[in-house]
Amino acid sequence: MEYCLQVTDLTKQYNGFCLDHVSFEVKQGSIMGFIGENGAGKSTTIKAILNLIHPDHGEIQILGEDYKLQSRAKKELIGVVFDECHFHDNLNATETGLFLSKIYTNWDDALFKSYLNKFKLPLKKSIKEYSRGMKMKLSIAAALSHHPKLLLLDEATSGLDPVIRNEILDVFYDFIQDEEHSILMSSHITSDLEHIADYITFIHDGKIILTDITGTSQ
Amino acid sequence: MTGLILKDILVNKKYLYQAFGIIVLYIIIFGVMSNNFGFVIPFIIIFFTMFILTTFQSDEAAQWEMYCITLPTARKEVVQAKYMLALLLTLLGTIITILTSLLEAVIKKQVPNQDLFYLVIGFLSSSLFFNSIQIPFTIKLGAEKARYAIFFIIFIPALLIMALYNMGLMNHVVELLTTLEKNIPLLIFAAFLTGLLALLISFRISVSLFQKKEF
């Protein structure tokens, strides 16, 4: 499979904003940085890819399957990290891993615990007591612990301090060492994408302006 | 689906423990000490029927649904999990209602009769009906607005009926019900089967609403 993600002519009309025939592709084994200013359409595009919104027009192929007809097996291979942690505040890391292990057939509890250890996340502390950086690390640990092939990151590093951002970018860099792994990472922080992305797609006001090689990946 | 049900139980376990504690306290204070089990049993019914709304509230607070759709669970499965949990809670509430009624019978040195059976079926029926309304409304409107909508749909008509009865304008209905009283078993079973049917229809509506939802 050459491309793990193909978006073609994606269109979604809202009052005052339009995602206008967005097209781009993510090559297998690469990191695509998806950059644009606030309100450019990055999150809307990622939500469309994840079937969280219903586009007016367009096609999306993820890991070789139409996104609307995705099999459970293919959904298992996608890891998602949003800009906010969506785990309930009164859960702890252990409980989060417990119910996720019943949802993902590929769930690797040993790997999850190793990420918690690496990120120094306490097992029994409530998520409401976590800092923003800790919540993001927990989301990333959860996204990586079911052996995904494709990571979709929607502003996963925004609001974090530079130390934690670099720590998280290093995790993504380790993930991409396997040539079967790919990342689509949306951000408005250009320095993060300069650090890690192989390609950049620039979106502005709902339209793709350019897709290019960064030439600065490690 | 197991993972989603487990998630709801883990998220709300503190609330469940507190509620169980209150139920036991009510049984002791109002049931055993004051011999007023008639107050305890409706509380049990209401708690177990309304608990599913609490799970929706918790999900909204975490914006969980948006993340849940990205997991390897179909949208239909997310709705199935809520209905399954509602049924499990109804079953648990039924068991506790039976045990409380048996305790009442022991305290009053009575032999449990068919009234207990009718009470149980009545509880099941009312729970099925209530869930068949509250779940799709919650999916459509969110937990907060759904509470108001449910209040208007269920309690306002109930209050109206009470007012009409007090004004003596329900005499024909009362006569009809008195006639039907002779067929209580038939009525109770009809209510139960209608409750099941309502829940099935409600499930299909909820799936349709959730399929169309955008985040």
Instruction: Give residue A71's pLDDT.
Output: 83
Q: Compute chain B's Rg from CA coordinates.
A: 19
User: In chain A, which among 125-184 make CB contacts under 8 A with chain B?
Assistant: 152
Q: What is the pLDDT of residue A150?
A: 96
Radius of gyration of chain A (CA): 17
**Can you tell me whether residue A147 is helix, strand or coil?**
coil
> Measuring CA to CA, which residue among A51, A66, A83 is closest to residue A5?
A66
Q: Which of A119, A217, A127, A124 is nearest to A177 (CA)?
A: A217
User: CA-CA distances (angstroms) from residue A100 to A106, A145, B6, B82?
Assistant: 10, 10, 9, 17
**pLDDT per residue as tens digits for the range A136-195:** 999 999 999 999 999 999 998 887 888 888 888 899 999 999 999 999 999 888 888 888
Residues with Cβ < 8 Å from A159, sequence gap 6 or more?
Answer: A83, A132
User: What residue in B sits closest to A90 (Cα-Cα)?
Assistant: B11
Choose from A34-48, A203-217, B183-197 the range with maximum mean pLDDT: A34-48
Query: Pick from B6, B59, B214: which is nearest to A52 by CB?
Result: B214
Query: Beta partners for A65?
Result: A62
Strand, helix or coil for residue A138: helix
Quick one: tokens of A156? Answer: 């996963």
By C-alpha distance, which of A202, A72, A91 is closest to A139? A91
Q: Residue A138 has what pLDDT?
A: 95
Q: Residue A88: list chain B partners with CB under 8 A.
A: 7, 11, 58-59, 61-62, 64
Q: Which tokens hold the place of B18?
A: 């507190």
Q: Which of B71, B85, B212 to mutate to test the interface with A (most CBs of A within 10 A)?
A: B71
Give the one of A51, A75, A91 whose C-beta lies nearest to B10's C-beta: A91
pLDDT at A112: 97
Contact B62 A88 (CB under 8 A): yes
Kindly list the residues from chain B whose CB atom is less than 8 angstroms away from the CB atom of residue A72.
72, 74
Q: Is B99 helix (H, G, I), strand (E, B) or coil?
A: helix
How many contacts, defined by CB atoms under 8 Å, are there between A and B?
71
Assess contact for A182 and A31: CB atoms under 8 A. Answer: yes
Of B2, B64, B212, the CB nearest to A88: B64
Verify whether the Cβ–Cβ distance A88 to B66 is below 8 Å: no
**Residue bearing tokens 């609330």:** B15
Element (H or E) spanning A33, and its range?
Answer: strand A31-35
Q: What domain range includes position B153?
A: 2-212
Structure ipTM: 0.91
CA distance B88 to chain A (A): 18
Whether the model pTM is above 0.80 = yes
Yes or no, beta carbons of B6 and A80 under 8 Å apart: no
Does the distance separating the beta carbons of B3 and A52 come in below 8 Å? no
Q: Map out the domains of chain A as residue ranges.
A: 3-213
8 A C-beta contact, residue B142 and residue B59: no
Fold of A3-213: Rossmann fold (3.40.50)
Instruction: Mutation target for B interface from A86, A127, A135: give the one with most B CBs within 10 A.
Output: A86
Question: How many domains does chain B contain in total?
Answer: 1
**Residue from the list B2, B3, B69 with its beta carbon closest to the beta carbon of A51:** B69
- Cβ separation of A98 and B6 shorter than 8 Å? yes
Minimal CA–CA distance to B86: which of B18, B15, B9, B193?
Answer: B9
Inform me whether the C-beta atom of residue B56 falls under 8 Å from chain A C-beta atoms. no
Residue A217's pLDDT is: 47
pLDDT of res. B68 = 95
Residues B109 and B111: their CA atoms lie apart, in Å, by 7
Q: Does residue B2 sit at the A interface (CB-CB below 8 Å)?
A: yes
A101 chain-B contacts, CB cut-off 8 A: 3
Kindly report the number of other CB atoms within 10 A of residue A196's CB atom. Answer: 23
Q: Is residue A65 less than 8 Å (CB to CB) from chain B?
A: no
pLDDT per 10-residue tile (average), chain B, 215 residues: 94 89 86 75 83 92 94 94 94 86 82 74 86 93 85 76 75 69 77 91 96 92
| Partner-chain residue, chosen from B66, B71, B214, that has the shortest CB–CB distance to A103 | B71
CA distance linking residue A150 with residue A29, whole number of Å: 9
Across A18-22, A65-69, B98-102, the highest mean pLDDT is recorded for: A18-22
Q: What pLDDT is recorded for position A218?
A: 44
Interface contact B7-A54, CB threshold 8 A:
no
Distance (Å, whole) CA B85 – CA B78: 11
Are B195 and B132 a contacting pair, CB within 8 Å? yes
Residue B71 to residue A53, Cβ atoms within 8 A: no
Neighbours of A167 (CB within 10 A): 17
CB A3 within 8 A of CB A27: yes
Q: What was the pLDDT predicted at B204?
A: 96
DSSP B57-85: HHHHHHTHHHHHHHSS--HHHHHHHHHHH
Q: Which of A126, A123, A131, A52 is nearest to A88 (CA)?
A: A126
Spell out where A84-213 has E strands: 150-154, 182-187, 199-204, 207-213
* Rounded Cα gap, residues A82 and A184, in angstroms: 12
Copy the structure tokens of residue B163.
């007012």
Residue A70 scores a pLDDT above 50: yes
Residue B162's pLDDT is 77
Please tell me the predicted confidence (pLDDT) of residue B40.
79
| The residue to which tokens 């209401």 are assigned | B46
pLDDT at B101: 84
Contact A87 B62 (CB under 8 A): yes
Any idea of the CA torsion for A75, A81, A85, A91, to the nearest 10 degrees? 40
Give how far B155 is from chain A: nearest CA, Å.
32
pLDDT-based confidence at residue A215 (cuts at 50, 70, 90): low
Is some CB atom of chain B closer than 8 A to the CB atom of A47? yes
pLDDT of A214: 75
